[in-house]
Structure 1
Amino acid sequence: MTIRTPNPINSSQMLLDLQRSKERYSNYASQLTTGKAIVNLGDDPAGSAAILNFQASIDQNSQFISQINAATGFLQNSETVASSVQTQVTRLMELAQSGLNGTQSATSRGAIASEVDGIYTGLVNLANTKVQGKYIFAGTNTTTVPFDAATAPAGQPNSITYNGNNANIDFTVGASATTATNIPGDTLFLGGAAPGSYGGNLDLFNAAKSLSVALNSGNTANIQTAYTNLQAISTHLNDVITQLGGLQNGIDNIKTSLQDVNTNLQAVQDTVEGVDYPTAITGFSREGTAQSATLSVLSKISSKNLFDYLA
């Protein structure tokens, strides 16, 4: 009589196949749970490398977008202040015209001068605007108060000393693109790089202070000069506001482009990374069935003993 016993080699192979099936089953389960075709980097090295490259580009573009958002905040505040200054300059021009009216008395001109002084103080406050703890009209000297109303430059008693600089604060908004996020205070309020612009026809503080002095003294010639200078300042402010708007539109366009690129990259990444659900479901079911069958066979083998084969 021939006695047959279970082949340990066959059992070992079945156990090995079972382990591999469990790994494939777990992988399919992870794919269905995460929605990603590549669960482990080793599953598809080429696809994994492509996904990492896509994600690196997306992350870099997202950083540029964050920079743009920060730049936008500074530009918007600068534009808001510039528009407020323009409004005040328009009012100063109206007051200057009133002062030129020959029917004005010394008392009425003094009242007009008082309003001019109030506007002057407001302009100094606007020039020293602070955003997120930084003076936005100090150039790159953002921790220094740019305009000190108590200090006049030499030979220009009606002007204010500018303590900032004429440098731009540039933000990186692309792989090879930067944008200015500020207008230096001397450009906006003095008309150009200090100190050469102190007392010039675009020096706003000089124009306002000179107007007040001329109104109080009744000097119509100087009132007219102040009015003429305010007209030039108004034109200059319009140019600055247009410049700020152009900077804003430029970085808005860059932001839109970066967002579009990220959307496209994400779509391609999803195509590479996304799971093929029909294939994953079929594989998941197949491996589950295979494991059940293998376990059933192993259980029958393990339940047999020598007497089963002798029977």
Structure 2
Amino acid sequence: MRITQQMLTSNMTTQMNRNLSNLEKANQEVSTGKRINKPSDDPMGTEKSLKLSSQLARNEQFERNTDYAMSWMDMTERTLSSVSNVFQRANELGVQASSGTNSQDELDTMAKEFKQLREELEGLANMKLDGKYIFNGQKTDQPITIEANGELKYDNGSMKQRISPFSEVKLNVSADEVFDNDVNLFKALDRFSQALTTGNSEEMNTALGEVQKGSDQILTSWTGMGARQSRVESMNQRLKDENISVQSFLSKNEDVDLAEAIMKLKSEESVYQATLASSAKIIQPSLLDFLR
């Protein structure tokens, strides 16, 4: 077969394009740090990366959900601790008042403190997180209404957050669980304050019993919320650990060994330069060059 100048030129051009393509691919791997930059680089690897990326995105959303749930529950936990402190102080005053050794002036002073405790309890009942009332059920944009006589108006709906594909958790502790269950906490404080003002020892003993029941009521709701809080914290840590594993798998599937990639790039550069040099020698001058 006769080798023509056109055939030589065509073959050399094809080889140069092939080597240039290899050089460009090697350069892209070094620049991006990825061995898969388009599906054709590794179809099976691309499919695996898509699955891992989808799993990572889903887990990261659940991680954000658990982060939010933990923030809400942490605020609720701290508020319930403060509510418990209010009733612990009310119980201390109640025991002291019920001893029968106090003057009326002393009882009046205690009655004033009970009123201050009630005001503190009102503030705690309408505590907010990120502009949302934490104890008013699903109506987080509205405060609990607290009447002068202690009557409460609130929503007792549950707020739930999905923390995994198969489970969700109740975020909130509603007002009926804490403030208005077996004992209305506001009425209990009001009753004791009134008993102190009148000096009625029998009424004081009755009111003290309600205060103590109120303390137990707070503790019950606090304990229930704490169990859910522990579950969310455990799920949050599990998601973080799983995300680290998925990211590791994704990196192993996509990333290049940088040292190896740089060596490959240098090699492809040498091959391309050698192709250019040999092309310059092999391709002979054209007829026009002889006619000059």
**TM-score calculated relative to the size of structure 1:** 0.87
Distance 1:44 1:26 in 2: 16
Distance 2:258 2:141 in 1: 57
Q: Deviations over 1:195-238 (max 9, x none)?
A: xxxxx4x2111110000111111111111111111112212222
Equivalences for residues 20-59 of structure 1 within 5 A: 20-59=18-57
Q: Which residues of structure 2 form unaligned runs of 5+?
A: none
Q: How far apart are residue 34 of structure 1 and its match?
A: 2.2
Q: How far apart are residue 308 of structure 1 and its match?
A: 8.5
Distance 2:185 2:39 in 1: 64
Q: Which amino acid aligns with 1:209?
A: D
Secondary structure of the residue aligned to 1:104 is coil
Q: Deviations over 1:232-259 (max 9, x none)?
A: 2212222222222211110111011111
Q: How far apart are residue 128 of structure 1 and its match?
A: 0.9
4+ long deviations beyond 6 Å: 307-310
Q: Which amino acid aligns with 2:41?
A: D
Secondary structure of the residue aligned to 1:144 is coil
Q: Which residues of structure 1 form unaligned runs of 5+?
A: 151-156, 192-199
Distance 1:89 1:302 in 2: 98
Secondary structure of the residue aligned to 2:161 is strand
Distance 1:104 1:305 in 2: 122
Q: For structure 1, which segment, 241-250 or 60-69, has the greater mean C-alpha deviation from structure 2 after superposition?
A: 241-250
Equivalences for residues 178-217 of structure 1 within 5 A: 178-191=168-181, 200=182, 202-217=183-198
Q: How far apart are residue 84 of structure 1 and its match?
A: 0.5
Q: Which amino acid aligns with 1:43?
A: D
Change (3 A) 1:18 1:96: same
Match of 1:255 among 236, 251, 262: 236
Q: For structure 1, which segment, 268-277 or 84-93, has the greater mean C-alpha deviation from structure 2 after superposition?
A: 268-277
Q: How far apart are residue 18 of structure 1 and its match?
A: 1.0
Backbone CA RMSD of aligned residues: 2.1
Task: Confirm or deny: 8 A CA contact 2:100 2:201 kept in the other structure.
Answer: no
Task: Confirm or deny: 8 A CA contact 1:5 1:309 kept in the other structure.
Answer: no
Percentage identity across paired residues of the two chains: 27
Q: How far apart are residue 301 of structure 1 and its match?
A: 4.4
Q: Which amino acid aligns with 1:142?
A: T
Match of 1:165 among 119, 137, 155: 155
Q: 1:15 maps to what in 2?
A: 13
Q: Deviations over 1:173-199 (max 9, x none)?
A: 1111211111001111112xxxxxxxx
Distance 1:107 1:281 in 2: 88
1:102 aligns with 2:107: no
Count of residue correspondences: 290
Distance 1:143 1:47 in 2: 48
Secondary structure of the residue aligned to 1:190 is coil
**TM-score calculated relative to the size of structure 2:** 0.92
Q: Deviations over 1:256-311 (max 9, x none)?
A: 1111111111111111112144653453233222211221122234562449899x
Equivalences for residues 78-93 of structure 1 within 5 A: 78-93=76-91
Q: Deviations over 1:19-72 (max 9, x none)?
A: 121111111112122221112221111101111110111111111111111111
Task: Confirm or deny: 8 A CA contact 2:5 2:284 kept in the other structure.
Answer: no
Task: Confirm or deny: 8 A CA contact 2:30 2:261 kept in the other structure.
Answer: yes
Q: How far apart are residue 144 of structure 1 and its match?
A: 1.5
Q: How far apart are residue 12 of structure 1 and its match?
A: 1.2
